[in-house]
Each structure stands twice: as C-alpha cells, then as structure tokens.
C-alpha cells in the first residue's frame, strides 16, 4: 500500500478558478482522480505483458480500480489478494511464491498457451479422488511439490504416494514490475491534462 498525494496540485488549481468553477471542483476532482486511476490501471496491465512471459488473463485482470466520489476524493488502484500474494516478490524481490495454482509450473508435461498446466488436465486428476496437490519431503529432506496419487496396498505392500506431475522449485526473481514508480510517473505526467478536462466537463454541465 502506498499513496500518491496530489492535494497541493488541486489547491493550486482552485486558486485560479472562478466562482462557478470552484463550486464544481469536488465533482471534477472525483472524476479526474478516477480517470487517473484508470490510466495507472492500464499502464500496470500493459507492463505485465512486457515483464512476464505470457501472463494469464487472471493475473492481468487482477489490477482493479475503486473510483473517487465527491465526498471521498480518493481513487484506489489495487491488485486482488490472490494475485498480489504471488506478484509481491516481483516488486519487493526474493523468491517466487508457489502457493497458488497460477504459479504451478509443471516439469515434463504439456502446458497451455500461458505456460501453465491445462485446466482440463488438472480437473481430470482432481476427479480421481485419490490425488492431491502439495509438497512431500523426500528421503533427503528436500520438499518435492507436485500432483501426488495415493496408491492402494497391493501384494503385501502398503499404500504409498506416486508423483504424477512435478512442479518447478521456487527460484530467485529476476524480473521487476516497477509498480510503484510507474504509478507515480503516470499520475504526475497526466495530472494537468486529466484534471483540466474533468473541470471543463464539470463547468459545461453545471446547472
């Protein structure tokens, strides 16, 4: 969570306004802040396509906007919780998180157009009832993550776990989203144009 404060910019505009324009300022400000948020949203979504290799629609569409109102002059651009959890290392650094189906990277099995496990394949495996997705520690103590199947006892042998699909291990992040600084650049570079247009519309429709 971080703030981009444009209060001083708005106050500077107010000092130059006529009485009618001043009266319309809260409405114009709310519209302008909402439009600025949408510009940031589009900018962040477009950046994902250049930073990541074939990002899923779920990841791209996870960037949402909450618009401003006359009685609450604050617009919010946010990433939905599930995506935010696995995108955070791409902003903060560290290793990628493998706690989401969106980040399960199968090894040695056909992938879909986004480089992930095909949903129908995953559904087939889950439908068996004796499979699960998770991590199991091997004899060397190293956790192996993947799709596991519980086998039935046979010929005096106890039931065991069979690895059906293995997922790639977490690795240090190399890409950087630059989310915060991009948002600030977009707000600063578009503020005058967007707020000017919003104020013009507000005055033109004033009663």
For the ranges 59-63, 102-106, 150-154, the maximum mean pLDDT occurs at: 59-63
Which positions ≥6 away from 83 have C-beta within 8 Å? 58, 59, 62, 102
The pLDDT-based confidence of 28 (bands split at 50, 70, 90) is confident
pLDDT at 170: 63
Phi, psi torsion values for 162, nearest 5 degrees = -115, 130
- What does pLDDT average to over the chain? 80
Share of the chain above pLDDT 90, in %: 28
- Tokens 């900018």 label which residue? 43
**Mean pLDDT across 56-82:** 93
Residue 110 has pLDDT above 70, yes or no: no
pLDDT at 102: 45
| Calpha distance 143→82 (Å, rounded) | 23
pLDDT at 14: 59
The pLDDT-based confidence of 180 (bands split at 50, 70, 90) is very high
> Is the model's pTM score more than 0.75?
no
pLDDT at 101: 47
**Mean pLDDT across 4-31:** 71
29-43, 52-66, 100-114 — which is least confidently predicted? Answer: 100-114
């Amino acid at each position: 969570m971080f703030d981009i404060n444009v209060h001083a910019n708005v106050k500077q505009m107010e000092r130059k306004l006529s009485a009618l324009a001043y009266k319309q300022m809260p409405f114009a400000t709310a519209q302008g802040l909402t439009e600025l948020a949408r510009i940031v949203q589009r900018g962040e979504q477009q950046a994902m396509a250049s930073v990541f290799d074939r990002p899923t629609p779920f990841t791209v569409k996870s960037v949402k906007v909450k618009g401003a109102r006359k009685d609450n002059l604050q617009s919010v651009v946010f990433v939905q919780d599930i995506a935010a959890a696995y995108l955070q290392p791409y902003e903060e650094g560290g290793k990628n998180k493998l706690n989401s189906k969106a980040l399960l990277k199968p090894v040695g099995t056909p992938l879909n157009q986004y480089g992930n496990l095909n949903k129908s394949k995953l559904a087939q495996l889950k439908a068996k009832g004796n499979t699960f997705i998770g991590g199991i520690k091997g004899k060397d103590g190293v956790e192996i993550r993947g799709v596991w199947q519980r086998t039935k006892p046979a010929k005096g042998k106890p039931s065991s776990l069979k690895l059906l699909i293995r997922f790639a291990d977490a690795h240090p992040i190399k890409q950087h989203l630059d989310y915060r600084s991009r948002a600030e650049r977009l707000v600063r570079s578009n503020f005058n144009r967007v707020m000017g247009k919003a104020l013009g519309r507000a005055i033109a429709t004033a009663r």
